Structures are given as structure tokens and as C-alpha cells.
Amino acid sequence: MLPWIILGIVILALNLRAPIIAPTAILPAIQEGTGFSAAGLGLLTGLPVLLFALATPLAGKFITRLGAEATVLACLSGVLVGTILRSVGPPWLVLVGTGIIGLAITLGNIVVPVIIRREVPWEQVSMVTGLYSAMMNIGSMATLIGTGPLAEAFGWRWALAAWAGLAFVGLGFWMVLIRVRVRREGEAARAAAAESADGAPSTEAAAPVAKQSWAEAPASFRLIIALLIITFSGQSTAYYVTTTWLPSYLGDTIGLAPTVAGSTASLFQIAAILGAFGVPLLAVKTKPWVPVAIVAALWLSLPVGLLAAPGAYWLWATTGGIAQGGGFTAIFSIIARTAGSDAQTASASARVQFGGYLAATLAPPFAGWLNTATGGWTAPLLLILAATLAFTITGLWAARRAGGFPRGGREVLDPD
């Protein structure tokens, strides 16, 4: 089943960023068709991120109560319905559909670490988490590349609606996967019952599986999650501020034309794939803190490089991009490695993502205000520097603490 579950994670990941990115490729056409103001257009991308933060605690409870499989189906169903509503309705329904998409993706954001923790062997957790992170970036790039041509050929509504096909495929795949899983578990249970009836009961098989709640989590695990909340907040601040303002910085500071600035900024997104796969490869051969240290150094190079040597902007966009892909993988690999149960994984992931996406909602407008108030880009770059320093300090601390946790959430002595 493992290869099929990994394929299911890949298909799910393709649906967790593409619906948000799709409108950014055709904003002028959407504005012309709906009459949205600039603020209204901003909601098409800002509202889902805000919901990531506000709805994350509820998503964690949803998963704990209904289970991972039901949550996956709810996520993909919500993306499908929201994408269709956003594509067919008047302006108010466009925003309603966008909100549904944001709520649905929030469920997906939380449930993937739960599935990885439960299904993937410990030594493959980082690799599968990296694959998950990379596929979100690949989905975003495919959407950016494909939405414009689709809009020119069929109009902006059909261009947005077309990406509902990804959710439809994912929903069908997961329904089949869950059905096969339920059937196999039923067959295994019947076989175990038959074996017990023959007089050869298995004590280990009959033992109930412990389901540790968040309240039962050890203090050392809680400390790691508290550190990761700050780490992911730094990661999200640096990522969303850079994503929002890097093209403007390049235009104002370097004098690049908008098309060239946009192409250069895309390096920041593309390079994330290298980071997503690089962290797992390092994790196999090094101590847990080493990949985090390398990612931290790459993150710091972005604001320091743009401040000290802005002419090498393409290099800093690349190193920062590698960092943002690697940072996401490192953070959520630590959660999957140290949690003791599905409930703890869901709760920890919800707490970390609440802090990170709240920062993602607030940081870009604040950076824009800093630019306006100071008349330059030094203050926004210092904000990114502060965020990456927070990532460095708390991320390294959490990784060192996590080095004493094998799969299953029980702390052991770290020989390092």
C-alpha cells in the first residue's frame, strides 16, 4: 500500500497551492470581468492564507474526531466545490468560493503530516515530506504557466475552472484507495479472528493501539513544538514577504523591467524544489541539526546578500528559494518524527501552522508599510533578516532536541 499512499500524497499536494496561485496569473482579466478593486483582487490570494491561520485549530479537531481519510475527502471536495463556485458566480460568489478553497486547503495542510507520520517508515519520513513540499511548488508552477494560455483561449472563468480537474482526479483516487484499505483491514481482522478461534490467539495483535492525546505529550515534545511555531513563523514571514515584494524591489533598486523582475523572482519559487529534496538527502547521512543549519545559512544569505551585494540578485533569489523549500521540509519532518500519535501530530501541526500563517498574513502588508514609511527597501529587508534569524535560532534548537526522538515520540539520550 505504501507506494499508492505516497502517490495519493503527491496528488493531494498538487491541490494544496494551485487553486490559490491560479488567479495571480490572470488578475487583470478577473478585475475586468468582476469589477473588483485592488483590495478585492488581493483577497483572492490573501483570504486563503488568512484562513490557514484562523481555521487551523478547528482543522486539527476535525482530523482528531473524524480521522485522516475523511479529512482528505473533505479537503478535495472543498477544493472542487470552491473552484467551481469561484469560476461561475458573480463577484460575491467568487469570494465565497475562494473562502471555501481556503478552508479546504487548511484541512489538507494539517492532514498530510498525520498521514506521513502514520504510514511512512521513519527513515523515509524526510524524503516523503520533501516530495510533498516539492509537488506543491510544481503544482504552483504548472498553474502559473497554464492559466494564462487557458484564459486567452477560453476566458478567465474556464481557465480557473479547469484546475478543478486536479481535485476531481484526487477525490476519485483517494476514494478508491480508502476502499481498498478498508477491505484489506477487514480481511486482516477476519483472519485474526479465525486464528483466535483456532486456539492460537496473538497477545500482541490483540493489544489496543495507544492513542496519545496532546495533553499526554511529554514536556520535551511540547518544547519542540513551541520552538517550531517560531521557526515556521520566521519561515513564513521570509517566504511571503519575498514572494510579494521581490519583483518591486528588483524594479526599484536594480531598475529591472517588470517582465525581467518577474522572471528573476520566479527563481525563488523554482529553486524550492532543490531544497525540498536536498534536506532529506542530507538527513540520511548527517545529524538532524545539519540540514537545518545549512537551510538557515541559505535563508540568511537572501536579506544579507540583497543588502550587501544587490547586483547578484539572481544568486540570492536562488539561495533563498532553496532555503524556503528545505525549511518547510525540515520543519514538518521534525513534527512527523517526534509525535507519538496521530492526535499529537494533528495538534502539533495545527499549532505550528497557526503561528506561521498568521505571520504570513500580517508580514507582507507590514513590509509594504515599512517601504512606504522609509522610502526604501532596507527596512523590509531587515524584517526578512529578523525572520531568518528567528528561523535559525529556534530551528537549530528544535532540531537538536528532536535528535533524541526516534519514531514514536519517545525521547532517548542523544549521543551528540
pLDDT in tens, 47-89: 898 999 899 888 888 888 888 999 999 999 999 999 999 999 8
CATH code of the domain containing 329: 1.20.1250.20
Q: Give the number of domains in the chain.
A: 2
Which of the listed residues 142, 160, 194 is the one where a domain comes to its end? 194
Residue 258: is its pLDDT beyond 80? Answer: no
Residues 396 and 249 in one domain: yes
Top mean pLDDT of 40-44, 253-257, 310-314 is at 310-314
Residues 6 and 72 in one domain: yes
**CA-based R_g, the chain, Å:** 22
Is the sign of the CA dihedral 40, 42, 44, 47 positive or negative? negative
Lowest mean pLDDT among 34-43, 92-101, 163-172: 34-43
**What's the pLDDT at 411?**
52
Residue 22: is its pLDDT beyond 70? Answer: yes
Residues 187 and 216 in one domain: no
Please give the Cα distance from 396 to 290 (Å, whole number): 8
Task: Note whether residue 256 is domain-resident.
Answer: yes
Domain of residue 62: give its range. Answer: 1-194
Task: Note whether residue 201 is domain-resident.
Answer: no
The larger pLDDT score, comparing residue 40 to residue 259, is at 40
Task: Note whether residue 17 is domain-resident.
Answer: yes
The larger pLDDT score, comparing residue 187 to residue 47, is at 47
Its pTM surpasses 0.85:
no
Task: Note whether residue 206 is domain-resident.
Answer: no
Residues 333 and 389 in one domain: yes
Please give the Cα distance from 324 to 342 (Å, whole number): 26
**Average pLDDT of the residues of the chain:** 87
Residues 330 and 256 in one domain: yes
Lowest mean pLDDT among 65-69, 223-227, 286-290: 286-290
**What's the pLDDT at 199?**
58
**Three cell numbers, residue 45:** 490570494
Residues 185 and 223 in one domain: no
Helix (H, G, I), strand (E, B) or coil at 404: coil
Please give the Cα distance from 81 to 368 (Å, whole number): 33
Residues 157 and 242 in one domain: no
Place of cell 484562523: 54
Residues 136 and 234 in one domain: no
Task: Note whether residue 416 is domain-resident.
Answer: no
138 burial (CB, 10 Å; 0-12 / 13-18 / 19+) is buried
Helix (H, G, I), strand (E, B) or coil at 288: coil
**Chain segment 122-174, per-residue pLDDT in tens:** 778 888 999 998 999 888 888 878 888 999 999 999 999 999 999 999 999 99
**Chain segment 363-410, per-residue pLDDT in tens:** 998 999 999 999 999 999 999 999 999 999 999 999 998 875 555 555
**What's the pLDDT at 94?**
93
Residue 328: is its pLDDT beyond 80? Answer: yes
